[in-house]
């Protein structure tokens, strides 16, 4: 990983620094600006706010509809992470350990949910759910979100397994441990970080999902994103600024914990 | 950067098998044992089969029926009706434009971050990854607020005396392009960064030593080496753009209709499964063709490497 300077003076490419800084600002500023705006006291979201207040947070936390949707979304996200993680870990283990001609084919199939346009997945699931009477049920939502989340877990865990030496598990088995026990006691502790990252990505994937939810997550089980989408289409409700700020902070916290975990892993492996 | 952040659609397809020791006492390498281990992927495969393969196959069938009669009408309409042709044109022009902007803005970012000292590169990547993992809906909302008539951009421009009247920046094509560019940029930067990072800079130094100007060294050596990563990243962006629904729906204000929006309309409002399915199948065919092109140009595995 060379970080050696290229033989070009910094001045000769000052324009590059300026351009890159501008693009990075373009990426981050819209998100940062929503947070102070959510504390605005007025009906119109201003920046900087002329008067500060918590009224939009109050309007969020005092609304039974928003609260109900938040509960549904979090329940779905937790359940999705709990189901998608073992499924994804098992699949990643299999794809990593087995070298048959079938393996790459299975891998493509497992990753299809990330390749097929989500609108098509959405209407397909909607159609099936109508027959199975799963529309607007928590079970149906979790199942659909798990479909989207499994590829993330598979990818993350496979990258963890690639930097893990499988001979360790073989040693455990040659000493008499059954495969299952060897995995749990020897392999899993060492790929723990990629498993936790995968679970967090599964959680976020479920929490942020919009399109499929528009078809199958209504009624009593209206997810947060669907309610946000609907109120965005109609008018700009400043309550959404408060919810958005909370979601941004949540993403930042989740990412920071993933970064801290993998940073710690790096240091240990370098030591 | 050591985060294990998977890019959407970022995977390592078809990695060459690592050399495995053929130790006789371990029966693990017998093919039947391998099949049994492969069975661990069965639950996930069942899920994909039940919720993706079967439903999409079913929709494919439905796309050939209209009121119970076999017909090609839904597909013929796409090439005959001017309104349908316009929707495909909008979707493709929007996707091409957003992809081009992403390449122009994203390449310099990936290029510079790959060369900066580690601390700065990490900070820069954090600024790319945080938006990437923030809800698309939240980001679309942020742009709605920023771009509206009384939004930050218009009020700043007016108070700076640059414009007198607020610009119409949102609820149109412009707003859609801005919002989609913001959402798609990380999809280009992350894979491109990874592939640029893998380029051996000694080639560039060698070129300089042999008398190439920095511009020549970049154009003749660096750019060609980064091209596979760039092609893979931009095709990924293009494919996701083709299926975009949320952002054009909110920022387009009814003036932008993409294929996905038409599908939603057909199914969600009119319950016209045949028409909606046919559009979905058409979309899938385009996406499949692009994956094929990507595979030929850059190797599919590269496209899926985070």
Q: Where are the domains of chain B?
A: 75-303
> Is the model's pLDDT at B200 over the cut of 80?
yes
From the list B14, B39, B126, the residue facing A104 with the nearest CB is: B14
- Do A20 and A105 share a domain, yes or no? no
Does the distance separating the beta carbons of A104 and B6 come in below 8 Å? no
Least confident of B25-39, B97-111, B237-251: B25-39
What CATH number does residue A237 fall under? 1.10.3720.10
Report, as an integer, the average pLDDT of A164-178: 87
Task: Determine the residue of chain B that is closest to A30 in CA distance.
Answer: B142
Report, as an integer, the average pLDDT of B227-235: 89
On whether residue A58 sits in a domain, the answer given is: no
Does the distance separating the beta carbons of B138 and A124 come in below 8 Å? no
B242 touching A (Cβ < 8 Å): yes
- Do A22 and A128 share a domain, yes or no? no
pLDDT value at position B103?
A: 97
Does the distance separating the beta carbons of A44 and B40 come in below 8 Å? no
- Gap between the Cα atoms of A101 and A88, Å rounded: 21
Does the distance separating the beta carbons of A98 and B45 come in below 8 Å? no
> Is the model's pLDDT at B4 over the cut of 50?
no
On whether residue A1 sits in a domain, the answer given is: no
Q: Whose structure tokens read 């042709």?
A: B85
Distance from CA of B83 to the nearest CA of A (A): 20
- Gap between the Cα atoms of B10 and A158, Å rounded: 11
On whether residue A30 sits in a domain, the answer given is: yes
> Is the model's pLDDT at B303 over the cut of 90?
no
- Do A266 and A133 share a domain, yes or no? yes
> Is the model's pLDDT at B182 over the cut of 90?
yes
Does the distance separating the beta carbons of A37 and B145 come in below 8 Å? yes
- Domain span at residue A34 reads 14-53
| Helix (H), strand (E) at residue A167 | helix A167-174
- Do A87 and A48 share a domain, yes or no? no
Report, as an integer, the average pLDDT of A235-255: 88
On whether residue A104 sits in a domain, the answer given is: yes
Does the distance separating the beta carbons of A27 and B127 come in below 8 Å? yes
What are the DSSP calls for chain B, one per residue? -----PPTT---TTPPPPP----TT-GGGSHHHHHHHHGGGHHHHHHHIIIIIHHHHHHHHHTTEETTEE-SHHHHHHHH-HHHHHHHHHHHHHHHHHHHHHHHHHHHHHHHHTTS-HHHHHHHHHHHHHHHTS-HHHHHHHHHHHHSTTSHHHHHHHHTTS-SS----SSSHHHHHHHHHHHHHHHHHHHHHHHHHTS-THHHHHHHHTT--HHHHIIIIIHHHHHHHHHHHHHHHHHHHHT--HHHHHHSTTS---HHHHHHIIIIIT--HHHHHHHHHHHHHHHHHHHHHHHHHH-HHHHT--
Percent of chain A with pLDDT over 70: 93
Number of domains in chain A: 2
From the list A98, A263, A266, the residue facing B37 with the nearest CB is: A98
> Is the model's pLDDT at B6 over the cut of 60?
no
pLDDT value at position B22?
A: 58
- Do A185 and A257 share a domain, yes or no? yes
> Is the model's pLDDT at B181 over the cut of 70?
yes
pTM for this model (two decimals):
0.87
Q: What is the per-residue pLDDT across B110-158, written as a single tens digit (0 to 9) for each?
A: 999 998 898 999 899 999 999 998 999 999 999 998 998 888 888 888 8
Indicate if the alpha-carbon torsion angle B1, B5, B10, B12 is positive or negative.
positive
Architecture in CATH of B75-303:
Orthogonal Bundle (1.10)
Phi, psi of A39 (to 5 degrees): -95, 15
A171, with CB counted inside 10 A (0-12, 13-18, 19+), is middle
- Do A134 and A233 share a domain, yes or no? yes
pLDDT value at position A62?
A: 95
On whether residue A4 sits in a domain, the answer given is: no
> Is the model's pLDDT at A111 over the cut of 60?
yes
- Do A25 and A138 share a domain, yes or no? no
B167 touching A (Cβ < 8 Å): no
Distance of CA A198 to CAs A81, A159, A207, B240, B275, Å? Answer: 8, 11, 14, 22, 37
């Amino acid at each position: 990983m060379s970080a050696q300077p290229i033989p070009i003076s910094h001045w000769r490419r000052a324009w590059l620094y300026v351009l890159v800084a501008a693009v990075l600002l373009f990426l981050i500023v819209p998100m940062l600006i929503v947070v102070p705006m959510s504390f605005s006291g007025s009906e119109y979201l201003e920046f900087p706010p002329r008067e500060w207040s918590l009224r939009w947070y109050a309007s969020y936390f005092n609304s039974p509809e928003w609260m109900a949707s938040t509960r549904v979304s979090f329940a779905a996200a937790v359940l999705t992470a709990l189901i998608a993680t073992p499924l994804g870990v098992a699949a990643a283990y299999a794809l990593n350990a087995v070298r048959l001609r079938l393996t790459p084919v299975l891998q493509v199939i497992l990753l299809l949910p990330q390749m097929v346009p989500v609108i098509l997945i959405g209407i397909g699931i909607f159609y099936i759910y109508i027959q199975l009477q799963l529309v607007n049920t928590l079970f149906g939502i979790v199942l659909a979100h798990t479909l989207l989340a499994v590829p993330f877990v598979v990818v993350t865990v496979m990258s963890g397994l690639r930097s893990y030496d499988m001979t360790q598990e073989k040693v455990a088995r040659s000493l008499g441990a059954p495969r299952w026990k060897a995995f749990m006691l020897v392999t899993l502790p060492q790929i723990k970080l990629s498993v936790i990252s995968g679970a967090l990505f599964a959680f976020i994937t479920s929490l942020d999902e919009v399109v499929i939810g528009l078809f199958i997550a209504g009624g009593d089980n209206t997810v947060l994103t669907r309610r946000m989408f609907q109120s965005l289409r109609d008018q700009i409700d400043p309550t959404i600024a408060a919810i958005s700020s909370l979601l941004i902070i949540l993403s930042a916290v989740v990412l920071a914990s993933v970064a801290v975990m993998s940073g710690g892993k790096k240091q240990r492996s370098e030591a | 950067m050591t985060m294990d952040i998977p890019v959407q659609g970022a995977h390592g397809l078809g990695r060459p098998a690592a050399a495995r020791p053929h130790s006789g006492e371990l029966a693990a390498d017998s093919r039947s044992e391998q099949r049994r281990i492969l069975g661990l992927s069965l639950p996930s495969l069942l899920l994909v089969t039940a919720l993706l393969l079967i439903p999409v196959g079913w929709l494919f069938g439905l796309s050939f029926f209209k009121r119970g009669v076999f017909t090609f009408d839904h597909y013929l309409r796409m090439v005959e009706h001017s309104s349908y042709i316009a929707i495909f044109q909008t979707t493709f022009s929007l996707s091409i434009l957003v992809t081009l902007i992403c390449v122009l803005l994203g390449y310099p970012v990936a290029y510079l971050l790959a060369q900066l000292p580690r601390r700065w590169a990490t900070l820069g990547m954090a600024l790319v990854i945080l938006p990437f993992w923030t809800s698309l809906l939240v980001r679309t909302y942020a742009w709605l607020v920023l771009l509206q008539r009384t939004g930050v951009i218009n009020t700043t421009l007016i108070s700076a005396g640059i414009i007198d009247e607020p610009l119409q920046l949102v609820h149109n094509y412009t707003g859609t392009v801005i919002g989609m560019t913001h959402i798609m940029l990380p999809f280009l930067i992350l894979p491109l960064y990874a592939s640029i990072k893998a380029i051996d800079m000694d080639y560039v130094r060698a070129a300089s030593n042999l008398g190439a100007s920095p511009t020549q060294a970049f154009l003749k050596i660096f750019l060609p080496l980064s091209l596979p990563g760039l092609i893979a990243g931009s095709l990924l962006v293009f494919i996701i753009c083709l299926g975009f629904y949320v952002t054009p729906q909110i920022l387009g204000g009814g003036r932008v209709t993409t294929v996905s929006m038409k599908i939603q309309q057909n199914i969600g409002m009119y319950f016209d499964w045949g028409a909606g399915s046919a559009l979905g199948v058409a979309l899938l065919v385009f996406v499949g063709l692009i994956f094929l092109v990507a595979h030929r140009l850059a190797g599919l595995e590269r496209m899926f490497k985070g």
